[in-house]
Amino acid sequence: MIIDRQRVITAFREYVSAYDADDIKIKLKTDHTFRVAAFCHRIAKGEGLDTELSWLCGMLHDIGRFEQVRRFGTFNDALSVDHAVFGADLLFKEGLIGRFATDLSDEERCTVETAIRLHSRYRLPDGIPEGRLKYCKLLRDADKIDILYVNSMIPPEDIYDIPEERFRTSKVSEEVRQCFLNGETVLRSIRKHPADYIVGQVCLAFEIEFPESRRIAKQQGNIEKILSFEPEDPDTAEWFGYMRANFWNIIDSKYNDQ
């Protein structure tokens, strides 16, 4: 398919211009959107998927974030709305998609809607048709890659509003260590200590599914930046050393990457 990218970009900028340009949350999500769209294109090209449809998914995946901030003043879905579902509803139930693309086939519309609606789920549900499932996974991969970038650039004390000293002296819970060893993402509900959140950031990469996505994540070097954190607690410092030495081995073992 062919997407008029300039039309999409112009419509996106016009849409975002209705929100408070001085709000750092708006800028963060605007910048995030363009990076995720670029990653979607790159992953799709590497995996032989439709680069135009993939790019469009990336451009629209967080459209619900802007209205979420205006209505609720937060990106915390638990305190407001599920931003992915909210965005998909704005686009495909309230007709916002018409501002960005009008010539999508029924299957393309369903693919974009499904990918956006499900991109923030902890796990994708069963029963998604294979053709749509690939784009769901691709969008989730691109989103995770950029989240790793953001997490590598912003100190954890600023992300989680926890004093730096608490991160430095923190333990890592056994349940969170086990997630790392198993190559699994970490549920928020099992995080007990500040350092658990840093381990959770790294574990996000364990469910980056496409080989091209993992190549990009490795090239970015953001895992290494996150793991460069230096705890003062001796046991936690030893654990971070273990993670630095073994992260990519666990990835390679899980996906049989070479």
CATH of the domain at 123: 1.10.3210.10
Other Cβ atoms within 10 Å of 258 Cβ, number: 5
19 and 60 together in one domain: yes
Please tell me whether residues 30 and 119 are part of one structural domain: yes
Average pLDDT for residues 21-37, to the nearest whole number?
Answer: 92
**Whose CA is closest to 145, among 83, 207, 63, 52?**
207
Both tokens of 126, joined, read 């069963």
Number of Cβ within 10 Å of residue 46's Cβ equals 15
Residue 74: its pLDDT value, please?
Answer: 82
Q: Which of 118, 145, 172 is the last residue of a domain?
A: 145
Same domain, 189 and 125: no
181-210 per-position pLDDT tens digit: 999 999 989 999 999 999 999 999 999 999
- Give pLDDT tens digits for 142-168: 999 999 999 999 999 988 889 999 999
pTM, two decimals, is: 0.93
> Which of residues 176 and 123 earns the better pLDDT score?
176
Same domain assignment for residues 188 and 118: no
Which of these, 84, 74, 90, 221, lies nearest to 143 by C-alpha position?
A: 84
pLDDT of 1 higher than 90: no
Determine the pLDDT at residue 122.
87
pLDDT at 257: 59
Q: Tell me the residue range of the domain where 45 lies.
A: 5-145
Same domain, 196 and 113: no
Q: Considering its fold, how many domains does the chain have in total?
A: 2
Counting Cβ atoms within 10 Å, is residue 250 exposed (0-12), middle (13-18) or buried (19+)?
A: middle
pLDDT-derived band of residue 258, with 50, 70 and 90 as boundaries? very low
Q: Same structural domain for residues 179 and 249?
A: yes
Percent of the chain with pLDDT strictly greater than 90: 87
Work out the average pLDDT over 69-81: 85
**Listed residues 92, 115, 145: the one ending a domain:** 145
User: E strand or H helix at 33, and its extent?
Assistant: helix 24-47
- Residue where one domain finishes, among candidates 145, 178, 200: 145
